[in-house]
Amino acid sequence: MAQFRFATHFSQQLSAPYAGVRRIGDKLEDSWKPKAWLSIFYGLVIQPFTFLYVNKAKLFWFYLILIIFVTLIDTKLQAIDDTESWHHNIYFTWLFLIICPIHAYLICRGYDKGQRKKWYAGWLPTLVCFVMFFAFLSLVRAFIYEPFSIPARSMSPTLNPDDQVIVSKSGFGNYRYFGLQIVKKAPSKTLKRGDVVVFQYPQNPQIDFVKRVIGLPGDTVIYRDKSIFIKPSCMDESANCPGFTEVAKEYKFTDSGAGSEHEYYKESLDNDSYVIKLNSNQKDLSERYFYQVGTQTDEWLVPDKHYFVLGDNRDNSLDSRYWGFVPESNIIGKIAYVW
């Protein structure tokens, strides 16, 4: 019995230090508190992510969604070309440079040390989360979707100045990030007639244009008397190849104003229908058309791996009629969403 009491006492002595270490460790974990100065710094630099640092994930998601929403509003307002407007060069997202640091600081002041510290509540995990999030957005913009703003009226009435568009880039092989070429390879996707695309202007690749695809590689296109005629590509000329077909258009209405008269038509090309704008008082500027050897002045044979594009505002568009064809390698992507 004495031996048993001695063994029990000895085992308790051995286990006590380990139990004490565990309790001390728990106490250190529970007593963690975010640094006020760092929460303010993160609030200024990586606004919503400062709430991960102060152990408030719900606030992080709240501010992240709110910032995205306000950014969309700012983008729309700043796209309006009116330097006299009250909101010109004023961004509502600037408010978060004040709100986030102050809110994070107040959380630090009243921080409850007894709450459980999550894995993201630390200066390094928070920074890693921000870097991963930024990298994800960069990859999406470079390779999948990219926003663009419409600056001119060449695609009116389909697209007007200040419209914002999202371009689907995946599969077109021309991947850039804020004008910097990341990757350029052969496209795995092809376009169809009627698609609205964004591309690098062949005569100045630093400028992006948006137009509608009218002619595919091998097609012959005629633009005459404000009408389009297309002869589809035919691989075997000995076969029964189709001839020229006029692209159907249906009169919609006339808009008179500013000393000119514009007519709107519903044009149907393959399976797409859209509205075009014509100026009945302006003649076709055929003397300025791009000349292709072996064809008439208003006729073009689309080369292989190239496209013929037009603006929907036919009498106010600098397009393939005046400078030629778009190489497929210049195609950035196809418009997927407009707002």
In angstroms, the CA 200 to CA 198 distance is: 7
> How far is Cα 250 from Cα 191, in angstroms, rounded to an integer?
25
In angstroms, the CA 196 to CA 337 distance is: 11
C-alpha distances in Å from residue 59, one per residue of 49, 109, 332: 9, 16, 37
Contact between 175 and 189 under an 8 Å Cβ cutoff? The reply is no
* Measured CA angle at 332 (ends 301, 202), to 5 deg: 50
Q: How far apart are CA 132 and CA 46, in angstroms?
A: 13
Has 211 been annotated as catalytic?
yes
Please give the Cα distance from 105 to 64 (Å, whole number): 18
From residue 330, alpha-carbon distances to 56, 106, 172, 186 in Å are 46, 52, 9, 11
Minimal CA–CA distance to 77: which of 199, 198, 164, 193? 164
Q: How many CB atoms lie within 10 A of CB 254?
A: 11
Q: Locate tokens 């397009």: which residue?
A: 319
CA distances, 249 to each of 14, 169, 265, 277, 310 (Å): 93, 30, 6, 11, 15
- Indicate which residue of 154, 156, 168, 320 is catalytic: 154
Angle of CA points 188, 192, 193, to nearest 5°: 155
Check if 329 is active-site. no
Check residue 313 and report its DSSP letter.
B
Active-site choice (39, 156, 168, 211): 211
Ramachandran assignment for 257, one of left (phi > 0), alpha (psi -120 to 50 degrees), beta (any other)? left
What's the one-letter identity of residue 234? C
Largest Cα separation within the chain, whole Å, is 117
Just list the catalytic residues.
154, 211
